[in-house]
Amino acid sequence: MFPNSPPPPRWLGLTPTPQSWPRTPRAVPAARLDEPPSGARVAVAGLVLVRQRPGTARGVIFLTLEDETGVVNVVVRAGIYERFRREVVAGRLLRVTGRLQREGKVVHVVAEEIEDLSHLLDSLLHDEACTLPPPHDEPAERPPHDLEARVAADPARVGDGLPRAA
C-alpha cells in the first residue's frame, strides 16, 4: 500500500499487505530480475497484462506479466507456443520458466515452460471475505432497449438508430 493511503474496503477481502494475494511458488519477483546473470534459468509469475503476436515476428509471441513488484517481459518462440498454446491463450496468471536475457537495460525471459496458475485467482472468489457490495439503486427511468419501445418513443427513428426522412 502507498504511505498515508486508506485501507481498501473490507468487502474487497484485501489487507494492506501483498502477502494476502495468492503466492506463486518458486518465482523470482520482477523487481529482482536484475540480480541473476544473463542466461540464468529463472521462473517468473504474474498476471497477464498483454499478449502480442506481431506479424513481423515470425510466430514469436510477447507476453507482459505483472506481479506485486513490477512487470516482466516474456518471449515465447513458435515451438514453445505450440506446446503451451492453451496456457498462453487462456491463462490469466502464468508461471514462466526460461532463460534470462539482457540487452542493455532491457530484461526479458525467453520461455521454455509455461504453467497456468489461474486457479489461484479463482480461490480469491471463494474466500468468504471477498463478497461484492450490494448494487447501487437502479436509475428511476431506464432507456428502452427493445425496438418497439424505441420506435414508440421516437417514431422518426427506426431500429438501427438512424434518422429517417418523414
In a 3-state reduction of DSSP, which class is residue 25? coil
Residue 81 lies in domain: 24-123
pLDDT recorded at residue 121? 83
Q: Are 96 and 113 in contact (CB under 8 A)?
A: yes
CATH of the domain at 101: 2.40.50.140
Q: Which residues contact 7 (CB under 8 A, 6 or more apart)?
A: 1, 15, 16
Cell numbers standing for residue 157 = 427513428
- How far is residue 70's CA from residue 23's CA, in Å, rounded to a whole number? 15
pLDDT recorded at residue 2? 54
Would you give per-residue pLDDT tens digits along the chain (166 residues)?
455 666 655 444 444 455 555 555 689 999 999 999 999 999 999 999 999 998 888 889 999 999 989 999 999 999 999 999 999 999 999 999 999 999 988 999 999 999 999 988 877 766 555 555 555 555 555 555 555 565 566 555 544 444 445 4
Residue 6 lies in a domain: no
Cell numbers standing for residue 115 = 504453467
Residue 102 lies in a domain: yes
Residue 132 lies in a domain: no
pLDDT recorded at residue 13? 45
Q: Which residues contact 31 (CB under 8 A, 6 or more apart)?
A: 69, 70
Number of folded domains in the chain? 1
